[in-house]
Amino acid sequence: MNNRGYYDRFGGAFIPEILVATFDELVTSFTEAKNDPGFWQSYQDILASYSCRPTPLTYAENLTRYCGGARVYIKREDLNHTGAHKVNNVMGQGLLVKRMGKTRVIAETGAGQHGVATATMAAKFGFTCTIYMGEVDVQRQRPNVFWMERLGAEVIPVRDGTRILKDAINEAFRDWVRNMDTTHYVLGTACGPHPFPEMVSYFQSIIGKEARDQILKIEGKLPRRVYACVGGGSNALGIFSGFMDDAVELVGVEAGGKGLETGRHASRLCSTDGSVGVAQGYKTYFLQDDDGQMKETHSVAAGLDYVGVSPILAHLKETGRVRFESATDREVIDALSLTIQKEGLIPALESAHAFVQALKEAPALSPTDAIIINQSGRGDKDIFTVADAFKDPKWQEFIKKKAEEYHA
Ligand SMILES: *Cc1c(COP(=O)(O)O)cnc(C)c1O
């Protein structure tokens, strides 16, 4: 990365003039924190006491036997507080907010997971918290909105545009311009203007540091391959960073949705539907038409359903350091079923994308090879989607009964 936040031709900071001083303040504060030997320790300490870190690396004995090839290990980010790796990033940014002396945080959220994580961090640190969410997403994600409100956050439905994530991002930036003296914008993934891609990856690098130590301890050598799903790219960069300088293959798996050929997916790097452009403050591959209008995306996993991708991953694709694949909704449901039944683990639908690719490749590897799958989150949150996919009649009956109770 150069000092303006470019990773070769990707990244940068395309921000309104009025926010330049705020971004400079953030860069300075982040740089100071990184150079303060006590900061990483305080970050590790708070995650250890609040979020079960270090998360375990689990040997998947039954999946290994089933595949008949590489030894399969699973990094358990699902065991974090709030159920995914997102808490790593928000707690790190929370510590920075304290250092900057600010008292209020804002965030945008699509599926609601980042909103819940941010509202949790705000409650813990005593910040006031406002979450912007497209009106359509507010309606779709009621359980997450419910928890954000219980956690004391104000959830503002955004009625502009198509009333989804990108409209919420615009509104969050408008808020920041009005309130930059008191407020920090907690971006949820390794995207957006510099320094967010670098900063979010830095906090998530705790996953890769732990995983590298753990696999060396258990196997006595490095893994052959590491797999992670790719939404914005933060869990992938987090685990990959631990192995970046090693002879370890890194595989990112995007949302193939209904299939790349249908156009109904969220694959910016594997499909031919993505192209390089500038939007939302940074330069990367976006799913956009020839006029730069963002396309509609689709994935069974709400957390992967995003038009852009980390500029760091776009760069690592071009250098060939990371290989990208995609998994369809159907494959994801199958890999999820298999993992639940064989290992008693319930990966999030997002994480199940990484499982699809790993389980495809494991049989062709040798039993002396180890592979690691990053289980970025747990699947409890997906009960509505997964039950629908299985067309579970008892579940449908339960939902009907609940609805009737409210009508009565
Ligand atoms: C949000 C989310 C993702 C996608 O975000 P990245 O920034 O790509 O990591 C993946 N898995 C889970 C469980 C999530 O909640």
Could you say which of 3.40.50.1100, 3.30.1510.10, 3.40.640.10, 2.60.40.10 is the CATH number of the domain covering 54-83+205-389? 3.40.50.1100
Report, as an integer, the average pLDDT of 376-391. Answer: 94
Look at residue 408 and tell me whether its pLDDT is greater than 90.
no
- Confidence at residue 239, expressed as pLDDT on a 0 to 100 scale: 99
376 as an active site residue: the answer is: yes
Specify the ligand 1 atom closest to the Cα of 351.
11
| Cα 333 to Cα 195: distance, rounded to the nearest angstrom | 36
* Segment 353-363, tens digit of pLDDT: 999 999 999 99
Look at residue 140 and tell me whether its pLDDT is greater than 90.
no
Residue nearest to atom 14 of ligand 1 (CA): 303
- Confidence at residue 173, expressed as pLDDT on a 0 to 100 scale: 94
**Cβ atoms within 10 Å of 142's Cβ, excluding its own:** 11
Look at residue 158 and tell me whether its pLDDT is greater than 80.
yes
Residue nearest to atom 7 of ligand 1 (CA): 234
* Mean pLDDT, all residues of the chain: 96
51 as an active site residue: the answer is: no
* Segment 2-19, tens digit of pLDDT: 778 999 999 999 999 999
- Confidence at residue 247, expressed as pLDDT on a 0 to 100 scale: 98
Chain-centroid distance, C-alpha 29: 24
Element (H, E) at 231: none
166 as an active site residue: the answer is: no
* Token representation of residue 221: 């050598």
Report, as an integer, the average pLDDT of 267-283. Answer: 96
Residues 6+ apart with CB under 8 A from 206: 43, 44, 47, 53, 88, 238
| Cα 371 to Cα 236: distance, rounded to the nearest angstrom | 15
| Cα 26 to Cα 183: distance, rounded to the nearest angstrom | 11
With tokens 């699973």, the residue in question is 74
7-48+85-196: CATH architecture: 3-Layer(aba) Sandwich (3.40)
Report, as an integer, the average pLDDT of 110-134. Answer: 96
Spell out a b/e string for 348-386, using b for 16 or more CB atoms within 10 Å of the CB, else e.
bbbbbbbbbbbbebbeebeeebbbbbbbbbbbebbeebb
Question: What is the Å distance from ligand 1's center to 198 Cα?
Answer: 17
Confidence class for position 384, pLDDT limits 50, 70, 90: very high
* Segment 219-253, tens digit of pLDDT: 999 999 999 999 999 999 999 999 999 999 999 99
Long-range contacts of 353-356 (CB under 8 A, 24+ apart): 353/229, 353/230, 353/253, 353/254, 353/255, 353/301, 353/304, 353/326, 353/327, 354/227, 354/228, 354/229, 354/251, 354/253, 355/227, 356/253, 356/327, 356/331, 356/332
- Confidence at residue 161, expressed as pLDDT on a 0 to 100 scale: 84
Of 29, 75, 102, 108, the active-site residue reads: 108
Confirm if 347 and 339 have CB atoms less than 8 A apart.
yes
- Confidence at residue 55, expressed as pLDDT on a 0 to 100 scale: 98
* Segment 328-338, tens digit of pLDDT: 999 999 999 99
Please state the domain extents for the chain.
7-48+85-196, 54-83+205-389
- Confidence at residue 4, expressed as pLDDT on a 0 to 100 scale: 84
* Token representation of residue 381: 């949150």
Q: What are phi and psi of 343, to 5 degrees?
A: -120, -10
Look at residue 208 and tell me whether its pLDDT is greater than 90.
yes
Of 29, 51, 77, 86, the active-site residue reads: 86
Q: What are phi and psi of 118, to 5 degrees?
A: -65, -45
| Cα 162 to Cα 295: distance, rounded to the nearest angstrom | 11
pTM value is 0.97
Question: What is the Å distance from ligand 1's center to 79 Cα?
Answer: 14
Confidence class for position 162, pLDDT limits 50, 70, 90: confident
Query: Sheet holding 6-7: strands in order across?
Result: 6-7, 10-11, 282-287, 274-279
User: What residues does ligand 1 touch, defined as CB less than 6 Å away?
Assistant: 84, 86, 113, 189, 229-236, 303-304, 348, 350-351, 376-377
